[in-house]
Structure 1
Amino acid sequence: MRQDSDLLALFESLALAAGHEIMRHYEQGFAIERKADASPVTAADREAEKIILSGLCEKLPGVPCVAEENASLGIIPECGDAFLLIDPLDGTREFIERRPDFTVNIALIRHGTPVLGVVLAPARGLMFSGGSDGAFEIELRDGEMVGRTQIRARSKPASEPVILASLSHRTPETDAYIAKFPGSRVTSIGSSLKFCLLARGEADIYPRFGPTMQWDTAAGDAILRASGGMTRDLDGNPLTYGSREGTGFCSPFFIAEGAS
């Protein structure tokens, strides 16, 4: 496999190409379909995934790719110690409702840990990237990368933290957790951008007490870890990735936080 810097450059390039296709649908209109689990899907999801998988298969032949739309059709490769997790359009509900918080997510997993990740929010003109050299916010101009700035998660304050909550998947358990922090400020935002806000020090905690899939979180989690933060399960252990017996690529409940 290539050097990590080359892999991140590849992920960034493919995310931008997928983002261009997504925005074409966003601007021109699209039909909404339903998958077997009743979740929405559009041609933008499918076309973006084709772009990403085509590029990965060409540049990284033999590396297993677990991608949301293929997985929904039962197409899931055998994964060893290293594999890729792809969500071509995270936040499809935001996309459908014309909110700008949807993202393209590409992540590399090694030994259960998300080590490289790219998150692109094409409607916001934002891209984030993270790996062994740190986490970065990438400046975009007319859809092209023109510069990058290193970002760091901040230490959680002793009281009144800024808490991020899912916009489309708020649960009673989430509300009960937030109630433990009187005076905290709660911000709702969709998709993997929650991890990115933690990574650039704009928020402190993202509790997830609701269903989510590993391709939803892996890229943002990699960026958060590269910034000094961490995502843990409810037992306090770092969140791990890979197929689990009985649950596949479903994620357990977790809490993502800034620097300790």
Structure 2
Amino acid sequence: MSPMTTPAPGSRTSDGTDQVHALRRIQAALEAAVEVLRGLPADTLRVEHKPGAGPVTEADWAVNEVLAKLLPAEGEGWLSEESRDDPSRLARRRVWAVDPLDGTKEFVAGVPEWCVSVGLLEDGRPVAGGIANPATGEVFLGCLETGVTYNGRAARVSDRLSLDGALVLASRSEVDRGEWERFRGAPFTVRPVGSVAYKLALVAAGLADATWTLVPKHEWDVAAGVALVLAAGGSVRTREGSPLRFNQASPRLTGLTAQPRGLLPAVQRELGWPQEVD
């Protein structure tokens, strides 16, 4: 796994807490999570299926336990796919939104398109995030104040203004269900990828131009990735054309699109979604 390098120090958040300190907490938690995963090879794990949801493994629970132990400080809320939702988070100004293992289906299948995803919310806005893909050794870290690093080097979204020739990352599940057939013959390349958090991280690092999901997602799926895209100079919008708001009573989002700011109008036109700009 590549060494994790925290972006250079920046200014402080409105409550006086240094965002770089938050990134160091994220970095430490990701490193601990990766160590846990090294001892839990996917082909030896018990796999269960949650009602109405995808698979879950011992790895999901083990990583969740480590993250829950290392991340929340006193007064901070917690939202995780593998924890019971505590409504007290709604009264918290700062909330950790995590997916211990986003892309469990790919993890179980041995497809290297899964990750550990850690996002920090402040006043309903993602302000810092970290995503580690142990299968590829990739690490994405960033916050609104300092920008984003990819494997320790500064990164930004692409500078593309048109979908012509763009690389768009699609949900592998959505493609398998035929939901991307409408884009067949489009002037951009569609590449199916598993984890939505990983797709967002790739866009943030400029390794792809855009991604969108046509089905609802949960806050824990995308909090870290949205923080990274915004910190990298990009734009993220809902199906309704508005910025995303987090730490809601129902942590479910209708869908989203993520891309460089200059590409947003073209993406919204392609999708037929309301055209608002940052």
Q: TM-score range by the shorter chain?
A: 0.7 to 0.9
Measured after TM superposition, the shift of residue 48 of structure 1 is 0.3
Which residue identity lines up with residue 216 of structure 1 in the other structure? Answer: D
Q: Give 1:11's aligned residue.
A: 26
Measured after TM superposition, the shift of residue 234 of structure 1 is 2.1
Q: Secondary structure at the match of 1:210?
A: coil
State the TM-score, normalizing by the size of structure 1.
0.86
Q: Which runs of 5+ in 2 are unaligned?
A: 1-14, 263-278
Q: Give 1:23's aligned residue.
A: 38
Which residue identity lines up with residue 47 of structure 1 in the other structure? Answer: A
Q: Give 2:234's aligned residue.
A: 229
Which of residues 152, 156, 176 is equivalent to 2:160? 156
Which of residues 124, 127, 132 is equivalent to 1:112? 124
Which of residues 69, 89, 95 is equivalent to 2:107? 95
Q: 1:205-234, CA deviations, whole angstroms, 9 ceiling, x for partnerless residues?
A: 211101311111110111111111111012
Q: Give 1:183's aligned residue.
A: 187
The answer as to whether partners of 2:78 and 2:89 remain within 8 angstroms in 1 is: no
Q: Which structure 2 residues correspond to residues 100-249 of structure 1 after superposition, within 5 A?
A: 100-131=112-143, 132-138=145-151, 148-158=152-162, 159-170=164-175, 172-176=178-182, 178-179=183-184, 182-191=186-195, 192-244=197-249, 248-249=250-251
Give the distance between the partners of 2:70 and 2:206, measured in 1 at CA. Answer: 32
Which residue identity lines up with residue 66 of structure 2 in the other structure? Answer: I
Residues 76 and 167 (structure 1 numbering): CA distance in 2 closer, same or farther, change over 3 Å?
farther
Q: Secondary structure at the match of 1:78?
A: helix
Measured after TM superposition, the shift of residue 122 of structure 1 is 0.9
RMSD between aligned alpha carbons?
Answer: 1.9
Which residue identity lines up with residue 258 of structure 1 in the other structure? Answer: P
Q: Give 1:82's aligned residue.
A: 94
Give the distance between the partners of 1:175 and 1:34, measured in 2 at CA. Answer: 28
Q: Give 2:8's aligned residue.
A: none
1:62 aligns with 2:67: no
Q: Size of the alignment, in residue pairs?
A: 242
Q: Give 1:251's aligned residue.
A: 253
Give the distance between the partners of 1:110 and 1:117, measured in 2 at CA. Answer: 12
Q: Calculate percent identity across the aligned residue pairs.
A: 27
The answer as to whether partners of 2:78 and 2:86 remain within 8 angstroms in 1 is: no
Which of residues 47, 54, 57 is equivalent to 1:32? 47
The answer as to whether partners of 1:20 and 1:122 remain within 8 angstroms in 2 is: no
The answer as to whether partners of 2:116 and 2:133 remain within 8 angstroms in 1 is: yes
Residues 12 and 169 (structure 1 numbering): CA distance in 2 closer, same or farther, change over 3 Å?
farther
Which residue identity lines up with residue 185 of structure 1 in the other structure? Answer: T
The answer as to whether partners of 1:84 and 1:108 remain within 8 angstroms in 2 is: yes
Give the distance between the partners of 2:93 and 2:178, measured in 1 at CA. Answer: 36
Q: Which runs of 5+ in 1 are unaligned?
A: 139-147
Give the distance between the partners of 1:93 and 1:163, measured in 2 at CA. Answer: 21
The answer as to whether partners of 2:42 and 2:107 remain within 8 angstroms in 1 is: no
Measured after TM superposition, the shift of residue 182 of structure 1 is 2.0
Give the distance between the partners of 1:81 and 1:165, measured in 2 at CA. Answer: 33
Give the distance between the partners of 2:103 and 2:247, measured in 1 at CA. Answer: 22
Residues 33 and 230 (structure 1 numbering): CA distance in 2 closer, same or farther, change over 3 Å?
same
